[in-house]
Chains A and B, each alone.
Chain A
Amino acid sequence: MSALIELSGVTKVFHEGRHNALVALEGIDLAIEEGRITVLKGPSGSGKTTLLTILGCLARPTAGRVRVAGEVVSNLPETFLADMRRRTFGVVFQQFHLVTGLSALTNVMLPAYPTGRRHGEIARRAGALLHQLGLARLAQARVEWLSGGEQQRVAIARALINDPPVILADEPTANLDSALSAEFLGILGGLRDEGRTVILSSHDPRVCDAPLVDHVVRLLDGKLAA
């Protein structure tokens, strides 16, 4: 298995140069294997979410390099970084962050809007994803009317609309009960079996200790722990 994402000497400092500067990550060297489920584990404030944002190219490191599929991306101009991010990563947020006032279908389609594909093509794919996740009948429902579990599945469908090889999920089970957590892990397993790479951040033992997790990365105070 080759490394899909490689971090070398990655450091992230917030409010650099100011009195409230915060070192969120320091000297991270990490390789994420392709086609596996990796969990970033650590207590609150350990830098899991920050590391996830850097792995997913949502933020640039203050120092160090990020390589995705062998290409250095940490210094790409924003337009091309965004384009690469759209094609490579799908993100499921802790609070789902669906756009209220829009239907489930439209929410799923949103990440594909800037790609220039035809509306009909995007809508068809979005419909198929919702169907796959058992939400076909709720496609036109406004997302604020859906249950927590249904919203999460909409968020997963949204993450898959551009058919990305990597899925990121931040504390995915934080707002779910055991049954829904197990269901969610099942979906992740399915994604891994499709050949996708999955990266989660979590401190939930149900996730960290799950048998289908291939690799656990421990973080403490912004550094990799043994």
Chain B
Amino acid sequence: MIFQKSILALLFASGVGAVGALAAGPHALAVWRHWDLESGSARQLRLERRSTLVSTGMALLLTMQSVALLLFVFNADRMASQFVGAMCAVGTLRVDGFGFPALLAQIAAFFGSAVWLTMNAVDGRCRDLPLTRAKSTLLLALIPVLLLAFGLELAYFLGLEANVITSCCGSLFTSRAPGLGGDLAAWPPGQAMAATFLVLGGAAVVAARVARRGQGGLALGIAGLLAFAASLAGIVAFVSLYVYEDPHHHCPFCLLKPEYGYRGYAFYVPLFAATSASIAAVALAPFASARARGQTSAERARAATRVLAGVALAGFVLVLVLMVSQVASSGLKLFTHD
């Protein structure tokens, strides 16, 4: 089944991203070892020049990586019609054992790419290029992630066969199912709602504070990750019920289908954007602190942190508002007052 245009495009994008990162590896290593802005040596000049190429190339490849995640999920949903037993992306991803691992690796690559892209943008604006070494270290760490994502994707697509009968969301996101999917489906909606709204609200408050001060990236990162986890849990535990107007349908992927107005994208896009902004703020935290050398760089890092916090705030508030309005406007009434 590998001869499908979306699959070919995804493998190409992922493959090129992995190869590109691998090719940039020696340069990243050289920067990590030899970068010294004070020296005017020929080697330093070469490193600076190559950094322009590597930065431009990696910015292109990693941006594409982020877009590829969207295409991966969209394609998984679209291909469901080709597998017996599949009704949404879950069914497609369960055709062989590599589907969900490939998705998780792609998500990890997405967040890693978002952090790198943020660091790259801020670094380019500072005179003393304070993030170059940190950026290179991150790139070295991203190489195995990108390779893994590509490998898992390739294994997944090679394993797709039309005659395999797969099981779908109904057997994964049900209270009787073992594992995390079952646990979340079994979580009482009232409790889930309270917990999710509380964590999202808390993350929004932290984001607002960081946006004002320009510092506190670490706190934002932690709050952002908690909000990400809580939102995903909340989507499975109660939001999906209100979208489908069915007290037993917990699938977080069926939300992406056209019959539900592609509502899933409205939840996931701001959630992922807000989370990546939160994580990126952690990377900037050491450079935004008052103790950082290079006052202008610290100011730039703080300004960037404010922007990231703003994005996180907008994203988490939007997700919260969407969840509340979904509950309020749904035909399903889980809690009735006598």
A-chain residues with CB within 8 Å of residue B129 when the two chains form the complex: 77
Q: Do A61 and B127 contact each other (CB < 8 Å), given the known contacts A77-B48, A78-B48, A78-B49?
A: no
B-chain residues with CB within 8 Å of residue A75 when the two chains form the complex: 37-40
B-chain residues with CB within 8 Å of residue A17 when the two chains form the complex: 42
- B contacts with A, residue count (CB < 8 A): 13
A76 CB–B CB distance under 8 Å: yes
Closest to B39 in A: A75
Interface SS majority for chain B: loop
Interface SS majority for chain A: loop
Complex formed: what's the CA distance from A75 to B38 in Å? 6
B-chain residues with CB within 8 Å of residue A79 when the two chains form the complex: 124
B45 CB–A CB distance under 8 Å: yes
A196 CB–B CB distance under 8 Å: no
In contact, A61 and B40 (Cβ under 8 angstroms) = yes
A16 CB–B CB distance under 8 Å: yes
Which of B38, B40, B45, B52 lies at the interface centre, i.e. has the most chain A CB atoms within 10 A of its CB?
B40
Which residues of chain B from 122 to 140 have any CB-CB distance to chain A below 8 Å in the complex? 124, 127-129
A197 CB–B CB distance under 8 Å: no
In contact, A16 and B42 (Cβ under 8 angstroms) = yes
A-chain residues with CB within 8 Å of residue B38 when the two chains form the complex: 75
Which of B38, B39, B52, B127 lies at the interface centre, i.e. has the most chain A CB atoms within 10 A of its CB?
B127
Complex formed: what's the CA distance from A63 to B129 in Å? 22
A74 CB–B CB distance under 8 Å: yes
Complex formed: what's the CA distance from A76 to B39 in Å? 10
In contact, B40 and A60 (Cβ under 8 angstroms) = yes
A-chain residues with CB within 8 Å of residue B49 when the two chains form the complex: 78
A-chain residues with CB within 8 Å of residue B52 when the two chains form the complex: 78
B-chain residues with CB within 8 Å of residue A63 when the two chains form the complex: 40
Complex formed: what's the CA distance from A76 to B129 in Å? 10
Contact indicator per residue, chain A 69-84, by CB within 8 Å of chain B (1) or not (0): 0000011111110000
A-chain residues with CB within 8 Å of residue B127 when the two chains form the complex: 76-77, 80
B-chain residues with CB within 8 Å of residue A77 when the two chains form the complex: 37, 48, 127-129
B-chain residues with CB within 8 Å of residue A61 when the two chains form the complex: 40
Closest to B51 in A: A77
Closest to B38 in A: A75
Closest to B36 in A: A75
CB distance from B296 to the nearest CB of A (A): 10
A-chain residues with CB within 8 Å of residue B40 when the two chains form the complex: 60-63, 74-75
Which residues of chain A from 34 to 72 have any CB-CB distance to chain B below 8 Å in the complex? 60-63
CB distance from B124 to the nearest CB of A (A): 7
Complex formed: what's the CA distance from A63 to B45 in Å? 13
Closest to B125 in A: A79
In contact, A60 and B45 (Cβ under 8 angstroms) = yes
B-chain residues with CB within 8 Å of residue A16 when the two chains form the complex: 42
CB distance from B251 to the nearest CB of A (A): 49
Which of A16, A61, A62, A79 lies at the interface centre, i.e. has the most chain B CB atoms within 10 A of its CB?
A79
Closest to A84 in B: B127
Complex formed: what's the CA distance from A60 to B49 in Å? 14
CB distance from A152 to the nearest CB of B (A): 33
Closest to A16 in B: B42
Closest to B41 in A: A62
Which residues of chain B from 112 to 152 have any CB-CB distance to chain A below 8 Å in the complex? 124, 127-129
A-chain residues with CB within 8 Å of residue B45 when the two chains form the complex: 60
CB distance from B155 to the nearest CB of A (A): 42
A residues near B, CB below 8 A?
A: 16-17, 60-63, 74-80
Can you name 18 extra interface pairs (CB under 8 A) apart from A60-B45, A75-B37, A78-B48? A16-B42, A17-B42, A60-B40, A61-B40, A62-B40, A63-B40, A74-B40, A75-B38, A75-B39, A76-B127, A77-B37, A77-B127, A77-B128, A77-B129, A78-B49, A78-B52, A79-B124, A80-B127
Q: Can you sample 23 A-B contacts with CB below 8 Å?
A: A16-B42, A17-B42, A60-B40, A60-B45, A61-B40, A62-B40, A63-B40, A74-B40, A75-B37, A75-B38, A75-B39, A75-B40, A76-B127, A77-B37, A77-B48, A77-B127, A77-B128, A77-B129, A78-B48, A78-B49, A78-B52, A79-B124, A80-B127
Counting from the closest, the 9 A-B pairs by CB-CB distance are A80-B127, A75-B40, A60-B40, A77-B129, A74-B40, A75-B38, A78-B48, A77-B48, A75-B37
